[in-house]
Amino acid sequence: MESVVDRFIRYIKIDTMSDPENPAFPSTETQWTLAKMLVAELEEMGMSEVSLDDNCYVMATLPSNIDKEVPTIGFVSHIDTSPDYTAANVNPQFHPNYDGGDIVLDAENDIVLSSSYFEELKLYKGQTIITTDGNTLLGADDKAGVAEIMTAMNYLLEHPEIKHGKIRICFTPDEEVGKGAHCFDVEKFGADWAYTMDGGQVGELEYENFNAAGAKVVINGKNVHPGSAKNKMVNSMLIATEFMASLPAEDVPERTEGYEGFFHLSSVQGEVEKTELSYIIRDHDAAKFEERKQLMKQLTADLNEKYGEKTIELQLKEQYRNMREKVVPVMHIVDVAEEAIKKAGLKPLIRPIRGGTDGSQLSFMGLPCPNIFAGGHNFHGRYEFVPVESMEKAVEVIVGIAELVGEWDKSREGSPKAELV
């Protein structure tokens, strides 16, 4: 059977960067290239009901090999990579028996993956680390997940002695630009629940994520000759700095962790007559999330009162919500994943996602969908890495979940944890 590493390396060689500025779906043509490759591989390995729809969603079925009725489960990963960093000409580097120290990615340009700065590296001493060459991202987000699902399905096909129910898989486009679930056909998928293989550190299991919104702030100024500007010029950039300074200084990504929310200023474009600020707004707590949006609205109103109506225009756009609301009532689906992680010899790391996945949107579309580790770290940049052993463990967890659901007992569905969370 082809290894998960071999699959991973093949997939990351295809540049599937998504494009937030392109309204087409998918947003880049290269995503079709990987999707078609996956279809061919699924058919070759013997999966059933393999399909590629008009929106670039790949779906397939591993039929049940037991004679009793158990829930149909699913596994989902996305094929695109982040537009934040180039995914062209990925050149993976292997570091076997990692010694716990710094890893030089590009000696000529002094690009180093530092174990003192990225301390999680030390967790993988003695293992084989796959890194970039310092000039691209790696693509573990989420081609590690794709490779793990493909390898697990192949393993189950080649080992019919492992009993399991019906399993559905799906590979989605454009997750990195927030559209991964927009055209997902939940009814066609036909699973009772699913898991996204899109987490980070080995052992991670997540069923809570941020409530999320995007904000575009447009500040309109007036430009006149600076020599005669008194009481006439309105410098939009200076008003923009006032807007930025009015938000809580500590509520930014670099100063928050765990359940703490933030305002993240992601871009600034400005000149005297017009400045645009782009923010993302995040909070796990729904009430605090609403308070953050209201603060933006109030600040806009206050500055318009100070500088004149329509000086500031605010556009707020909802992005996704916390899946906890939909997962807690069916907490047994988390119990199963937790048990499979333990069965693989790992300590489950159950914690909130400081971000979102396709699973958060799918949960609100009627498909409860917690998130399981894929093994990568430092996503969306040149310092991305993934340990080989973490990907292998992810395959083991997928197989373990399949086995557990194949032994399903309806009594499991009354998880006491649902009352405690």
Q: Which residues, 6+ apart, have CB-to-CB distance to 187 below 8 Å?
A: none
Residue 80 catalytic?
A: yes
What are the structure tokens assigned to 402, written together?
Answer: 């399949």
d(CA 222, CA 310): 12
d(CA 57, CA 79): 9
Q: Decide if 57 contacts 182 (C-beta within 8 A).
A: no
Q: Decide if 376 contacts 388 (C-beta within 8 A).
A: no
Query: Which one is catalytic: 80, 174, 176, 251?
Result: 80
Closest CA to 130 of 386, 316, 410, 407: 386
CB atoms within 10 A of CB 305: 10
Residue 187 catalytic?
A: no
What are the structure tokens assigned to 216, written together?
Answer: 């575009």
Query: Which one is catalytic: 175, 251, 392, 396?
Result: 175
Q: Which long-range contacts (CB under 8 A, 24 or more apart) does 35-43 make?
A: 35/79, 35/171, 35/173, 37/10, 37/11, 38/79, 38/146, 38/150, 38/171, 41/150, 42/150, 42/153
Mind telling me the catalytic residues? 80, 175
